[in-house]
Amino acid sequence: MSVVLAIDPGVAESGYCVYDGFVRESGTVENARLLEWLPAHPADTLAIEMITSYGMPVGREVFETCVWIGRFQQAWRAPEEVRLIPRRDIKMTLCANARAKDANIRRALIDLVGPQGVKRAPGPTYGVKSHAWAALAVAVCAVDKEYFAS
């Protein structure tokens, strides 16, 4: 299995996860710092959660996040190969329900990847928190064969 670097983009900071069937690293980092990491990151694939319009008005933060998505994509060594994955696809892949909430997605990830465990006995998702859960969801969705099909 290839190594995926997945990003849950935000206005000032983003969640990230390095995943190859196991969570190798995850966290939340300032966007400018993440932008510096991207060109030399050893992952095989970059996957980013893509913002999708559903006809509702959006604010400045959504547009600023879109700018960061484009910057991340352009910084990757192969911008045309970046996987842009809409949230709806993540919900359908993990929960088979477009109305799934974050808690449903987290539960599906724990069922699929494994429990967090504790410090003395860390599980496969130990240390994943905050926006890194959403990044893990992007990574798991990215390894789905649909996104690696040419």
**CATH code for position 31:** 3.30.420.10
Instruction: In whole angstroms, give the CA distance from residue 10 to residue 60.
Output: 12
pLDDT tens sequence across 50-65:
998 777 788 889 999 9
Structural domain for 47, as ranges: 4-148
For the segment 24-50, the average pLDDT, to the nearest whole number, is 96
Give residue 105's pLDDT: 97
pLDDT score, position 146: 52
Half-sphere exposure at residue 135, Cβ-oriented, CA atoms within 13 angstroms: 29
Quick check: 50 and 61 in contact, CB under 8 A? no
Structural domain total, the chain: 1
Which residues are CB-contacts of 41 (< 8 A; sequence separation ≥ 6)? Answer: 5
* pTM as predicted: 0.92
